[in-house]
Amino acid sequence: MKHVLLIYPRQKDVYMSTDTPYPFPLPGLTLLASFFPPQYEVKIVNEFLDEIKFEETVDLVGITALTVQAKRAYEIADRFRERRIPVILGGVHATFMPEEAQEHADAVVLGEAELIIAQLINDWERGALKPLYRAEKLHDLHDLPEPRRGLLGKGYSPIFKVIETTRGCPNRCEFCAVPVIAGRKYRTRPLSDIDGELQSMVQKKGEYIFIVDDNVMAQRSHATGLFELLKRYQVRWMGFATIEIAKDVKLLQLARESGCISLFIGFESLTKENLEGPKRKFQGIKDLQGFINRIHDHGIGIQGSFIFGFDHDNEEVFERTVEFIHLNRIELPTFSVLTPFPGTPLWDRLEKEGRIFDRDWSHYDMSRVVFVPAGMTTDQLQQGYLWAQKYSCAPRSILRRLLLGPRNHLGYFLLSNFILRKAQMRVIKRLRSISFSTIPS
């Protein structure tokens, strides 16, 4: 029996505004675990919940990490390698910074692992691990094994179950790594495969499902079939979409009938010059207000994402955005500081312009400024983000948005806002203690 440890790291001193007491199950590691042969005993450790036992018996360690987790991932890898235990590093950050990752790993997986995991295991068993592994093509998502959710221990959300039905994004947002790592071609899982997974997941009607796709509605034919499945299972679900969904009234109706209660929509910016791709077609605030009203009229709430720090932003962007959120009763607003993650076109541009001044990966949590903005000072961007976050997570602000708004799924959004408020206030307090005197303007 071979013992494999799969780790999702947590930087101890980093808090995210989206942290919850009960994190969502890990779709990536549970799916990866399903590719190991039966003679392998696989254990998953999520540092959000569990402590790593560095002295336990283990033959192989796999670590996946986002950029903000990279520093901790390297610390973990180094400790296991001190015991001469082979370590495999993967995930978004390792994919875009392979030379850096190689300093802490026996092998680095670039991109998706499904098509190369069998070769990697075979090489390891022969004592012939290669320094780098990258699949020659992307997986078509057909016949994926069911994620081994049973490997997850206690402490995860008792409400939400997660499922993936698509990958890829055809858009080219400068700040986003998804089209780079998952491809611009929109890939869909067969509905029969999704049906089989739902059959084993859903125990009773009314259960909550979170669809982790980057845009669940990007391909209409797939979305229509998926909604029919979800309607049959009588679940309530949340997922990611773009504001474009508001243009398709019939699809919105199908989403509502299938149990959709909330869509995470990336508004990003209210300034047209900051937007890219299809979003540039919008004429302005009135267009967005009409789209929001249409989604609300279909009984679907909105978790709206807004980013501060684009080149056409100035110090007025914070108050303008908060006013828009309250006027349109966005049920659950989330704010981020524009962050140039390695591998994105934004990183390449700002690096070329010499505007990135902070390369401590633990600061890349989307709440801390790591580059020099164009339309305001660094301090104005940092303090403006903190003001918007604090204002919008205040109890008075939450109640004003929800009680004076459409009241779609009021209990769910009240609970969500106040659960996230604790994490948001923790981020605010942490950043207030940082001295900005040494940050460039």
What CATH number is given to the structural domain containing 234? 3.80.30.20
Q: Rounded to an integer, what distance in angstroms lies between the CA atom of residue 353 and that of residue 381?
A: 19
> Does 154 reside within a domain?
no
362 and 216 belong to one structural domain: yes
Predicted local confidence at residue 155, as pLDDT = 86
123 and 232 belong to one structural domain: no
Shortest CA distance to 144 belongs to which of 109, 189, 183, 112? Answer: 189
Is the pTM for the entire model greater than 0.75?
Answer: yes
**Beta pairing partners, 7:** 45, 63
Q: Rounded to an integer, what distance in angstroms lies between the CA atom of residue 441 and that of residue 435?
A: 14
70 and 201 belong to one structural domain: no
Question: Hey, which bits of 15-64 come out as E strands?
Answer: 40-46, 60-64
Shortest CA distance to 92 belongs to which of 174, 23, 180? Answer: 180
61 and 181 belong to one structural domain: no
279 and 414 belong to one structural domain: yes
Predicted local confidence at residue 283, as pLDDT = 56
Q: What CATH number is given to the structural domain containing 57?
A: 3.40.50.280
Predicted local confidence at residue 11, as pLDDT = 81
Strand ranges across the sheet with 332-337 = 160-163, 208-211, 236-241, 260-268, 301-308, 332-337
Predicted local confidence at residue 22, as pLDDT = 72
39 and 163 belong to one structural domain: no
110 and 201 belong to one structural domain: no
Predicted local confidence at residue 252, as pLDDT = 96
- The two tokens of residue 64 are 């996946």
- The two tokens of residue 33 are 């675990």
Q: Which residues of the chain have pLDDT under 70?
A: 276-283, 434-441
Domain around 263: 159-432
User: What's CA 224's distance to the chain center, in Å?
Assistant: 24
Shortest CA distance to 172 belongs to which of 182, 181, 184? Answer: 184
Domain end residue (candidates: 87, 119, 134): 134
> Does 146 reside within a domain?
no
Domain end residue (candidates: 118, 134, 150): 134
Residue 203: how many CB atoms within 10 A of its CB? 7
284 and 407 belong to one structural domain: yes
Q: Rounded to an integer, what distance in angstroms lies between the CA atom of residue 255 and that of residue 249?
A: 10
57 and 174 belong to one structural domain: no
Q: Helix, strand, or coil here: 367?
A: coil
Predicted local confidence at residue 441, as pLDDT = 57
Domain end residue (candidates: 134, 151, 180): 134
CA angle 13-19-22, nearest 5°?
A: 115
Number of domains in the chain: 2
Residue 226: how many CB atoms within 10 A of its CB? 29
